[in-house]
Amino acid sequence: MKKTIRIILITILIGLNISFIPNILASVPETSVALQVSFAENPVVLAPGSNGYIELILDNIGTETVKYIDIETSNYDKSVITYQGNWDVYIGSLDGGESTTLIYEFSISSSADPGLYQIIFESDSTASDTKITAFIRVEDSSLLDIESVAPSLINIGEISTLTFNISNNGGNSISSILFTWDVEDSLILPIGADNRISIDLIPANNYTKIPVTLMASPTITPGVYPLAITMTYYDETGNIQTITSNVGIQVSGGTDFEIILQQSITGGTTFAVANTGANTASSVIVSIPKQPNYSTSGSSSASLGNLDAGDYTLASFQLTEMNQNNTKRPGFNQEFSNMPSDFDPSMFESMKNKSFGGAMSDNLIVEISYTDLYGLRQIVEKEVKINSMSSSGSSYMASRFGTGDISGKSALSGQQDPIISTGTMYIIIGIVGILMIVLLLQFGKKKKIPYISKIMKGKNNENS
C-alpha cells in the first residue's frame, strides 16, 4: 500500500515538472546579431565638374553588439571619380539598436562623359560581410543664364518694358521654368500682371525672350536698383533646381531743358533756361557755339550753377545776327556805299546804335552742358527762334513756373509787349526814310528837279 502511494506521488511530481518546462524555456531571452547597410540616396545625380557626396547608413537591427566594423571602397573609375578625405573607415563597435552615418565626399571630372558610374562598399564585422553598390549618374548640366536685359534704364513714373534674354547653355532641354523678379520696398512694380512668368520649354543650347512691363514709383530716388531674379525648374531626374541672380536697373527721371528768348534789346539778348526734367542738373553752363547766322561779343558762355527740377534762371549774351556772307546784317551803325558824293550822312546821326534783324528767321543754336546724377557731363542742344520776342517768352515762363521776382529760381512777370514795339516802329520809319532820300537824290540828278538842282548847284559852288 505504501509503495503504491509513493508511485502516485512521484508521477504527480514528474507531471508538474514537465508542465513548467515550457515556461522556463520561454523566460530565456532570444539573442541576435545583424548589421544593415544602406544609402540615403541612390543614385546620386551630378554634372561634370561638380562635387557630391554619398551618405552611407549603418544600422544594428539586432540585440547584440556588432564589433570590428570596417568599411572599404573599391571598383570605381578613378579617372572620373576623385575621392576627398578618407574612404577606408574603421568604426569599431555598434551596440544593438544603434545606427551611424558615414559621408563620402568626391568630385566629378569636368571632362567626364554622361553615364552611370558605380562604387562598391564592403562592410566587414562580427555580424557578417556585406557588399553594397552606390551609383553615380553623370548628366550634361542644364544651365540657365540671363544673357542680357534691355533697356537698362527706366524713367520715373513711365511704363517701361524690359526684355530678358534667357539662354539654356546645357545639353538637355529645360521645361516648366518659373521666372520671378522682385525689388526691395516695392519701389518698382509690375504693370498689368504679377511678377511671376511661366516658361514652358527652352531647348538645349537655345534661348527665349521674356518681356516684363513695369513702372518705377514716383517716390523712388534716382539711382541703380537691383532686380532680384529667381528661376526654378525640374531637371531630367525630377529634382528642383533654383538659380538666383541680380540685374542692375538704372532709374532716372531724365533731365531736359527748355530755353526761351526772354528779351532782346540793344544791350544784349536774354534767355530763360528752365529745367523741365525730374532731376537736379549740376554745374549748368549755357553756350552759344559758332554758327553762320549769329555771333557773340564778349563771352559766349554763361555759368548758371545748379538748377533744380522745375526751376529756371536767366542767361544774357551780346548777340549779333549775321548774313550768309558772315557779315553783319544791315543796321544803322554801318556805313552806306554807292551814295552821291554830296550826300550828307550827318542826318542819320540820331539813328546811330540802332539795329534791325531784317527778314531772316534762322534759329539760334544753344548748347546746355550739365553734370547728371551719376557725375557724368552731358550736353543738350536746343534751337531758339530769335524772332519770338520777349512777350511770348515772358508769358510762357509765367504760365509754367508762376509769377514773382526774377531771381534765377522764381517766375518772371507775365506782362507782354505790344505786337509792334516803339523801337521797331522807329526802325521801320528810318528804313523808309533812307530809301526815299536815296531815290530823291538819284531822281533829282536825272530829271533836274528845280529845287533839288538848286541845292546841288549851291553845294558845288561852296566846294569850288
Residue 134 scores a pLDDT above 90: yes
Q: In what order do the strands lie in the sheet with 281-287?
A: 301-307, 281-287, 364-371, 377-384
Residue 25 scores a pLDDT above 50: no
pLDDT for residue 295: 85
What is the distance between the alpha carbons of residues 64 and 33, in angstroms, rounded to a whole number? 5
pLDDT band with cut points at 50, 70 and 90 for residue 434: confident
Q: Tell me the residue ranges of DSSP E strands in 257-353.
A: 257-265, 268-275, 281-287, 294-297, 301-307, 312-321
pLDDT for residue 447: 54
More confident residue, 171 or 177: 177
Residue 238 scores a pLDDT above 50: yes
Average pLDDT, the chain: 76
pLDDT for residue 392: 42
pLDDT band with cut points at 50, 70 and 90 for residue 74: confident
DSSP 363-388: PEEEEEEEE-TTS-EEEEEEEE-TTS
**Cβ atoms of residues 60 and 128 within 8 Å:** no
Matching residue, cell 523801337: 423
Among 50-54, 142-146, 192-196, 349-353, where is mean pLDDT lowest?
349-353
pLDDT band with cut points at 50, 70 and 90 for residue 215: very high
What is the distance between the alpha carbons of residues 456 and 450, in angstroms, rounded to a whole number? 10
Q: Model confidence over 250-266: pLDDT tens digits?
A: 888 778 899 998 877 76
pTM listed for this prediction: 0.44
What is the distance between the alpha carbons of residues 279 and 307, in angstroms, rounded to a whole number? 9
pLDDT for residue 170: 76
What is the distance between the alpha carbons of residues 87 and 90, in angstroms, rounded to a whole number? 10
pLDDT for residue 165: 94
3-class SS of residue 140: coil
The three grid cell numbers given for residue 195, joined into one nine-digit string: 511678377
pLDDT for residue 432: 80
The three grid cell numbers given for residue 397, joined into one nine-digit string: 515762363
Buried b (16+ CB within 10 A) or exposed e, 139-169: bebbebebeebeeeebbbeeebebebebbbe
Taking the CA of residue 334 as centre, how many other CA atoms within 13 Å lie in the half-sphere pointing to its CB? 9
Among 147-161, 291-305, 387-401, where is mean pLDDT lowest?
387-401
pLDDT for residue 111: 84
Q: What angle do CA 78, 83, 85 make, to 5 degrees?
A: 150
Residue 202 vs residues 127, 172, 175: alpha-carbon distances, Å: 53, 9, 6
Among 42-46, 167-171, 424-428, where is mean pLDDT lowest?
424-428
pLDDT for residue 341: 56
What is the distance between the alpha carbons of residues 303 and 315, in angstroms, rounded to a whole number? 8
More confident residue, 246 or 218: 246
Residue 410 scores a pLDDT above 60: no
Residue 406 scores a pLDDT above 50: no
pLDDT for residue 326: 47
What is the distance between the alpha carbons of residues 333 and 175, in angstroms, rounded to a whole number? 82
pLDDT for residue 143: 77
Radius of gyration of the chain (CA): 50
**Antiparallel, parallel or unpaired: β 44-46 and 130-138:** parallel
Highest mean pLDDT pick, 73-77, 178-182, 346-350:
178-182
Residue 352 scores a pLDDT above 90: no
More confident residue, 341 or 86: 86
Q: Model confidence over 262-298: pLDDT tens digits?
A: 877 766 889 999 998 878 889 999 999 998 888 888 8
